[in-house]
Structure 1
Amino acid sequence: MFENLLEMQERGARDRARGRSLADNPMSKPDILPITDFQEWYSMFDAWRFGWSIEDAMAGHINMPRDGGTLAQTYTRTV
């Protein structure tokens, strides 16, 4: 499964580099990819989104949503 997550992250980065949006996540199409294990599906969905977000940040794109609705929540560290 770990290799699959890395592959999905790489796919997300490639898709962003090709100009695709967050809405183009292939895991968001359950009619194409039937969901049998929700946790595994969400891990793959999130891995693609993470790869997409990394590429977006590296390329300096400014059209990412900033409200946290479609991105992972920001965690604060308490000391």
Structure 2
Amino acid sequence: MMFENLLEMQERGVRDRALGRSLADNPMSKPDVLPITDLQEWYSMFDAWRFGWAIEDAMAGHIDLPRDGRVVHRDDRAARRA
């Protein structure tokens, strides 16, 4: 059951990014809406959503990941060349 929930949360992250939502829109970051009863389970769900969001972000070409691991947005890269 937990594995299926993680996949659903990852897919939700993909859909949320495709809809233009930001990392701050992670539904698991709102404990008043989803009370935290198991910290491990909560973090797994939080991370699954964030991972799905990041996959969609990268696939859509919103970010570049340089070798040192820092995130460089395309706008920032263009500004550095100027």
TM-score interval w.r.t. the shorter chain?
A: 0.7 to 0.9
Q: How many residues align?
A: 67
- Please state if 1:66 is matched with 2:71: yes
What is the aligned partner in structure 2 of residue 54 from structure 1? Answer: 55
2:6 is aligned with 1:5: yes
- Mark the runs of 5 or more structure 2 residues left unpaired by the alignment: 73-82
Question: Relative contact order (alpha carbons < 8 A, sep ≥ 6): 1 or 2 greater?
Answer: 1
Q: Which residue of 2 aligns with 1:18?
A: 19
Q: Deviations over 1:19-75 (max 9, x none)?
A: 0000000000001110000000000000000000000000000399729xxxxxxxx
Aligned CA-pair RMSD: 2.0
TM value normalised by structure 2: 0.76
Partner of 1:13: helix, strand, or coil? helix
Tell which structure's C-alpha radius of gyration is larger.
2
Aligned to 1:34: 35
| Residues 10 and 49 in structure 2, CA contact (< 8 A), matched pair in contact too | yes
Distance 2:64 2:26 in 1: 16
Any runs of at least 4 consecutive aligned residues in structure 1 with deviations exceeding 4 A, and if so which? Answer: none
Q: Which has the higher helix share?
A: 2
Partners of 2:58 and 2:17 in 1: how far apart? 10
Give the strand-richer structure, 1 or 2.
2
Percent of aligned positions that are identical: 85
In structure 2, the residue corresponding to 1:31 is in which secondary structure?
coil
